[in-house]
Structure 1
Amino acid sequence: MRINHNIQALNAYRNLAANQLSVSKNLERLSSGLRINRAADDAAGLAISEKMRSQIRGLQMAERNALDAISMIQTAEGALNEVHSILQRMRELAVQAANDTLEASDRAAIQAEIDQLTKEIDRIADTTQFNQKILFSGSPKGKAFAQANSSKVSYVGNGTWEGIVTATPTEPAKVVLDFSKNLGMLNQDTIDGQTFTINGKTYQIDAKNNGLTNTGHIAVNVTWIANPANDNDAVTNINNLLTALKNAIVANDSTFSSTSTITNAADNGSNTDGTITNGRLTLITAKNMSPTEASMINVSSSFTNTQLKYLDPVNLTSEVTTLKAKDQALASESFTLTFAEPPKNGDVLKIDNLTITFSDSTASSYVGSGGQGTATINVNGKTLFEVLDEIKQVLGDAQADNVHQPVRALTAFSVVGSSLVLSTDRTDDGGTFGSANGLEIQIVDSDFEANKGKELKLEMQIGANESETLGFDLSVMDAASLGLARKADHTTLLSVGVNAEAGIDVSTSAEVARAAITVIDEAIRKVSEERGKLGALQNRLEHTINNLKTAHENLTSAESRIRDTDMAMEMAEFTKNNILTQAAQAMLAQSNQLPQGILQLLKS
């Protein structure tokens, strides 16, 4: 017997420690519900389980992806349902217009509705979105690098947006009627019946007070010296006519204001020297007008230009045939160019007569020549904000160029965030792009033509792994792609783009309306085909979701068998280990008593 080492106690202690460790693991598994709580529990099982978990979570997300795809398809199909309704109405109208019981005015009314319905198809194509993804206007790459928030700038084809931005006129239009002595010296028989034609209305002088021979004319009742003999008589006649004519015009044409002014004729010299100061009537419009509005108001008379002249109110030496308005407003018009991305090599931005070309190789520069300005901005490796700073610098250089003045219509500019804010005080003179008074804006996106009108291609991740995708495309469904978009003349076909100015012609004749029926039928077929494709995709995705759910369920079951605790078996194991622990504790107590037997030997 040995006293220094109690081997039995050590043995009991070792078994107790092992049993306690087993009980601890049993409790951990029972409390967590997991058989594998750490890699040491089952290294191989953990690796297999984690791979299964990645598949399970991938399948869950794929199921959500498929549901999102169905939601997007339902959104798209809902929009096309409305397009179908529009097309059916258009076909109904075309059939109505094809009937020869209608007059031209009836077909014009039908055409007006066709035009609006066509534009609504474009609006649906351009605004139907799912999570901000536009569905029916083609590839998003077909957008310009910058967009103007002015309706005056629109798409004109070939990847180009352009327009003329003008300010709202803040002054009325005017014309000066200049009456010379020759008119004032006409006798009563000659002046009676003479006419003025102003803004489409004819004013006839009634100097004898015996009424007008033409009842469609407006009477200008004037007191006239029958046989004027000197300068005073001419002045009197002119001044009487100025007052009578102004009163007649203001009373019969609301276009003109009562603030129209009279400058009376005067004789500042001898009564017989044959020289007087001409009398003038300045007609002023009641509302503010731009030059293009003023140009619609014509003025003429039956007098010779040695008797009466119509003069430009700013340049009184220039004779005119229409009213004149100032080409500059008192208040400026502001609008913004919002940049969606930095311009690319080959993109162009034209502001007034300044053309900015963007390059990835040529150094930045500005040159003025012959009233024009050209600039190059190097965009290689630059952020949008750096490019905007350079555009701002170029505009500053162009404004400072007092010799060529390429941006005369540009009154102010600034950069705010990703936008370029421009202002102009020029009013509309009716000029076309390239020769207008207003601020001309042109945006040329160099790669737009390569992408516009393409179908929107989509890839849906409908599985847990890289290659498990479903690809499909959404066709362009704007009016041009359906063959319905026309320019304002109703005959020029627009082939692509959300840019319909009018709808298909149904107003010219019954034959034209009948031809439109066939075109609309083809548009209905295209929309039906697209809706059928979307419906088939939705049905496929519903089966995909069912399959994903089944795979998810089966894989989860397999992962559970590896990772989860069998609670019944673990409880039985816990009970066993708990009893063994208690027994080990008892045996440890007994083994600790064994050395006391040595004392009996020592007593003897």
Structure 2
Amino acid sequence: MRINNNMSAVITNNQLLGTESSLSDVMEKLSSGFSINHASDDPSGIAIAGKMQAQIDGLNQASTNGSDGISVLQTAEGALNEVTDMIQRMRELSVQAANGTNSDSEREAIQKEIESLLDEIDRVAATTEFNTITLLDGSLDCRTYGNDVTRIATSNDVPSGIYQLKITQAALRAKTTINATTAGTVVENFDNTFKKIETTTTVNVPGLTAFNYKDFIDQTTWETVTRDYSGATTVTTSTGTKNGLGLSGSIAINGYPMEFAQGSSGEMVYGQLRMACEKGGAVISDFDDPDGLSISSYKYGDNAELEIDFSSVEFAKALGFDENVLAKDEGGNTIPKFLGTGTDAKMTLFKKGDVDDTGKLIDTEFGKQATYKTEGRRVIITDTKGFEMSFFADDGYTGNVTLNVTDIGSMALQVGANEGQQMKVRIAAVTTQFMYIDDVDVTRAKGPEDAMDALGDALSYVTAVRSQLGAYENRLDHTTKSLDATAENMTSAISRIEDADMATTMVEYTKLNVLEQAGVSALAQANELPQLALQLLQ
């Protein structure tokens, strides 16, 4: 019997300490709900759980990002709904303006509403925002850079890269020009047999060294001689030499008529020509243009037509038009009419494998099957698999054009928990320029018909943009559902790793609690054993 070292107490105490440590761990699990509270609890499990928790947090945020993306698209689509309504209203107005019962003043009133709606479309495009990000001005579309072209647009199926072409012939308007460099004489005879009166007007048009149409008219001299042979003797009278427009007459530019009075000043004649061009859908140059006074069709290309009808060949010459530009009948005789058409642009697309004049390979991404078509100055290039690129060539430009298509500019939505898991969203510009309706004018001759065509195309453009937004929105809806499902399954997996099984832990707690009480009792009894040694001393 030993009293210095009570081994029974030591052994019992060690067991009790172990039970208390285990009981402490179990109680921590019960209070926290986690089976892993320290790295020492499960080193591999805590590493796995840490990575999985990062994924879960990332997936939850990615789902929120997707919902935010849907909100962006809904904002843009709501604005486009109003743009659609405005385009439909303008087309309705164009149909109204095309009716022959409308006067010029009524068409001008219709045009005012159209211009107001065009301004509103541009305002919507410039101010529709989400979190200060402008949505409809083209800033969320892929950037494409090019020289001597504007309004560049590319479809989603155009890969980024360099595209090269050469414009060999610019799109041209139908055009006629008054140069007035050579003086001449115009004689108009009119014999009224019924009244027995004959009138002869002699017009001397000047030749100018420095062109000025107003001076040309003002420096024109004319004299009208009238011979009345209704009586026994012929009575001759003369107006004397006067200045101004030598003959009275009328013209019709693309069907819009204008009357001119004999003797009108250059200021008046130019003003009337300008008005006839404006209403007739033509363009007139400045009166002092050094290249002469030109009248051109408003449009460009093969579909551009310019028709000018004169009351007589002599009147056309009095206005300064060269007889050689007038049309001929089947017999080769000159008739008082000018007919002109524009010219489409012509170009060469440099395709993969093409070389330049020096034999150097041209850096270009156009495929072998790429083709182009022109609509005036607008060029549309298409290829297989949805490739479409369009632009607006600068007026009169010929030469090389290099287009650099980038993937910069689109909105990148982070729809995954890891790097590179993004969805690119492109929203095309919905401005009047990009829809080619910025010049809609129903007051011009054939303006309502042209407006109906242009607005119909614009409606298709907006519908295509809205369709693309709808496709993005549906995709994001499925994306967020997929993210939520993945996060749910990963949460279930991490729960099996780090969450405590309360039932099993309670069983363990009950066992350890009993062991602790038993240990305390046993230790008390072990501490009593040295007391027995005192009985030997009695």
Please, what TM-score do these two structures have when normalized by structure 2? 0.50
CA distance in 1, matches of 2:407, 2:423: 19
Q: In the TM superposition, what whole-angstrom CA distance separates every residue of 1:177-234 from its partner, at most 9, and x where no partner exists? A: xxxxxxxxxxxxxxxxxxxxxxxxxxxxxxxxxxxxxxxxxxxxxxxxxxxxxxxxxx
In the alignment, does 2:419 pair up with 1:463? no
Contact 2:142 2:426 (C-alpha < 8 Å) held by counterparts: no
Contact 2:142 2:409 (C-alpha < 8 Å) held by counterparts: no
Q: Report the aligned-residue RMSD.
A: 2.6
Q: State the percentage of identical aligned residues.
A: 45
CA distance in 1, matches of 2:408, 2:536: 104
Task: Give the corresponding residue for 1:483.
Answer: 436
Q: Structure 2 matches for 1:92-491, cutoff 5 A?
A: 92-139=92-139, 456-486=409-439
Contact 1:33 1:567 (C-alpha < 8 Å) held by counterparts: yes
Q: In the TM superposition, what whole-angstrom CA distance separates every residue of 1:554-580 from its partner, at most 9, and x where no partner exists? A: 111111111111111111100000000
Q: In the TM superposition, what whole-angstrom CA distance separates every residue of 1:391-435 from its partner, at most 9, and x where no partner exists? A: xxxxxxxxxxxxxxxxxxxxxxxxxxxxxxxxxxxxxxxxxxxxx
Amino acid at match of 1:28: E
Contact 1:53 1:559 (C-alpha < 8 Å) held by counterparts: yes
Shift of 1:139: 2.4
Task: Give the corresponding residue for 1:532.
Answer: 467
Q: In the TM superposition, what whole-angstrom CA distance separates every residue of 1:422-474 from its partner, at most 9, and x where no partner exists? A: xxxxxxxxxxxxxxxxxxxxxxxxxxx99999995111111111121111201
Contact 2:20 2:516 (C-alpha < 8 Å) held by counterparts: yes
CA distance in 2, matches of 1:125, 1:554: 42
Task: Give the corresponding residue for 2:529.
Answer: 594
Shift of 1:7: 1.0
SS at match of 1:72: helix
In the alignment, does 2:537 pair up with 1:565? no
Task: Give the corresponding residue for 2:10.
Answer: 10
CA distance in 2, matches of 1:512, 1:451: 36
Task: Give the corresponding residue for 1:290.
Answer: none
Q: 2:488 aligns with which of 540, 553, 559?
A: 553
SS at match of 1:34: coil
CA distance in 2, matches of 1:454, 1:139: 12
CA distance in 2, matches of 1:48, 1:27: 24
- Mind listing any 5+ residue stretches in structure 2 that lack a counterpart? 144-148, 152-401
Shift of 1:27: 1.1
Shift of 1:530: 0.5
Amino acid at match of 1:77: E
Amino acid at match of 1:596: Q
Q: 1:522 aligns with which of 429, 436, 457?
A: 457
Amino acid at match of 2:489: N
Task: Give the corresponding residue for 1:73.
Answer: 73
Please, what TM-score do these two structures have when normalized by structure 1? 0.45
Amino acid at match of 1:60: N
Task: Give the corresponding residue for 1:576.
Answer: 511
Amino acid at match of 1:585: V
Using a 3 Å threshold, how does the CA distance of structure 1 residues 456 and 525 change in structure 2: closer, same or farther?
farther
Amino acid at match of 1:104: D
SS at match of 2:426: strand
Q: 1:505 aligns with which of 423, 441, 446?
A: 441
Q: Structure 2 matches for 1:16-31, cutoff 5 A?
A: 16-31=16-31
Runs of 4+ in 1 over 4 A off after TM superposition: 140-143, 449-456
- Mind listing any 5+ residue stretches in structure 1 that lack a counterpart? 144-156, 160-448, 487-503
Shift of 1:41: 1.5
CA distance in 2, matches of 1:584, 1:53: 41
Contact 1:455 1:476 (C-alpha < 8 Å) held by counterparts: no
CA distance in 1, matches of 2:504, 2:98: 85
In the alignment, does 2:41 pair up with 1:88? no
CA distance in 2, matches of 1:475, 1:451: 17
Using a 3 Å threshold, how does the CA distance of structure 1 residues 475 and 454 change in structure 2: closer, same or farther?
farther
Number of residue-to-residue matches in the alignment: 283
Contact 1:141 1:451 (C-alpha < 8 Å) held by counterparts: no
Shift of 1:601: 3.8
SS at match of 1:139: coil
Shift of 1:158: 9.2
Using a 3 Å threshold, how does the CA distance of structure 1 residues 84 and 136 change in structure 2: closer, same or farther?
same
SS at match of 1:474: coil
Contact 1:135 1:456 (C-alpha < 8 Å) held by counterparts: no
Contact 2:141 2:427 (C-alpha < 8 Å) held by counterparts: no
Shift of 1:42: 1.3
Shift of 1:524: 0.4
Q: In the TM superposition, what whole-angstrom CA distance separates every residue of 1:21-78 from its partner, at most 9, and x where no partner exists? A: 1111111111111111121221111111111110111111011100000000000000
Contact 1:456 1:474 (C-alpha < 8 Å) held by counterparts: no
Amino acid at match of 1:462: V
CA distance in 1, matches of 2:112, 2:137: 24
CA distance in 2, matches of 1:81, 1:12: 83
Shift of 1:141: 11
CA distance in 2, matches of 1:64, 1:54: 15
SS at match of 2:61: helix
CA distance in 2, matches of 1:453, 1:107: 44
